[in-house]
Amino acid sequence: MTSPPDHSYPPLFRQIQPNPIRRSSEDEIGVHIPVIDLESLDDDALAAACRDWGLIRLENHGIPSDLSMKLENETARLLSLSFEEKESRFHGSPVSYFWGTPAMRSLRSVNWVEGLHIPMDQLRSDVDSSFSALRSLGAEYGEHMARIARKIFDAVARDLKLDSSQLWSYLDESHGILRVYRYPLCPDVANYFGMDAHTDSSVWSILNQDSVGGLQILHGNQWLHVPPVPGSIVVNVGDMLQAISNDKYKSVQHRVLANGDKERMSLCYFAFPREGGVVKSSNYRPFTYQDFNAQVQQDVKDFGFKVGLERFRIKSQS
């Protein structure tokens, strides 16, 4: 017997036929990524992890567990409204609802995910009272994100020997973006991803995933599973930090597997450089995050995918 369609799911997600074929078990290789303690931060260990992995597991991060749980519950509540209600409620709001891959919504390429996109600065000005719980939880959570992003950025800045003006312009921790995701049940996990392979355009991305799992990173040509560990969060290097570090650190490719048995939730915060801050390094021509993002949008429109940093790389003459 099939279960009734979930009316909170985007209609496209209710249309495909179940496929009994599972993903092969080579996708299940687990990995112990470097663990960093935020309370007694070891600059060298953090820099080594950014260089060798582009990803860390952060412990003693100071985010109250009940805050993460309340934000996740509030997200789950809002995302379980009917699809039509979500579309109309968030229309024109500073908090936007999205599903699939905004740029590509053909059934073939769709990501099996939906979520809320929350620009932290606009969250404070949102006056719609129906979002008041999301607003206050998001603002409190955002303060923790800003604190963490700044603390680890200051640590890598010492490794990269950035000067004080670069410290200021390369990270604007109060203008980050919070995205809260639900990965709906997927009837065809062999052919769809929760989120297909990509790098993040951020300086850092700070990810708080629930206990379901499914996140993978590409490391040494192999996809490795990054299982959730209670109490810890995952931070990855984004494209901006790869450029700032002149390729010393790696913006790691990652993806999320689709799941046919359990829905998954995650909270993901993206930190960016200050508006107009010019990223300068010898491997890339100078650019701002706004230049980068405009190029990404254009490439997605023209080719259907993000080209990313290679667009800005200075090609060697040889």
Ligand X SMILES: O=C(O)CCC(=O)C(=O)O
Residues with active-site annotation: 264
- Give residue number: closest CB to Fe ion: 200
CA distance 42 to 48: 10
Least CB distance to ligand X at residue 201 (A): 9
Least CB distance to ligand X at residue 4 (A): 27
Q: In terms of CB distance, is 200 or 210 closer to Fe ion? A: 200
149 binds, among Fe ion, ligand X, none (CB under 5 to 8 A by kind): none
Q: In terms of CB distance, is 171 or 256 closer to ligand X? A: 256
Least CB distance to Fe ion at residue 193 (A): 12
Q: What letters, b where the CB count within 10 A reaches 16 and e where it falls short, cover 12-42?
A: ebeeeeeeeeeeeeeeeeeeebeebebeeee
Q: In terms of CB distance, is 181 or 284 closer to ligand X? A: 181
Query: What is the helix, strand, coil percentage profile of the chain, to 5?
Result: 35, 25, 40
Q: In terms of CB distance, is 205 or 281 closer to ligand X? A: 205
CA distance 255 to 111: 10
Contact flag: residue 172 with Fe ion (CB under 5 A): no
209 binds, among ligand X, Fe ion, none (CB under 5 to 8 A by kind): ligand X
The stretch among 120-128, 143-151, 197-205, 271-279 that binds Fe ion (CB under 5 A) is: 197-205
Q: How many residues bind Fe ion (CB under 5 A)?
A: 1
134 binds, among Fe ion, ligand X, none (CB under 5 to 8 A by kind): none
Q: What are phi and psi of 249, to 5 degrees?
A: -105, 155
| Site for Fe ion, residues 200 to 229, rule: CB under 5 A | 200
Strand (E) or helix (H) holding 168? helix 164-169
Q: In terms of CB distance, is 145 or 162 closer to ligand X? A: 145
* Non-local CB neighbours of 84 within 8 Å, separated by 6+ positions: none
Cβ contacts of 161-164, under 8 Å, gap ≥ 24: 162/244
Binding-site ranges for ligand X (CB under 6 A) = 179, 181, 195, 200, 205, 207, 209, 215, 254, 256, 266, 268
Strand (E) or helix (H) holding 299? helix 289-303
Taking a C-beta distance cutoff of 8 angstroms, is the pair 266, 207 a contact? yes
CA atoms within 13 A on the CB side of 244: 32
Interface with Fe ion (CB under 5 A): 200
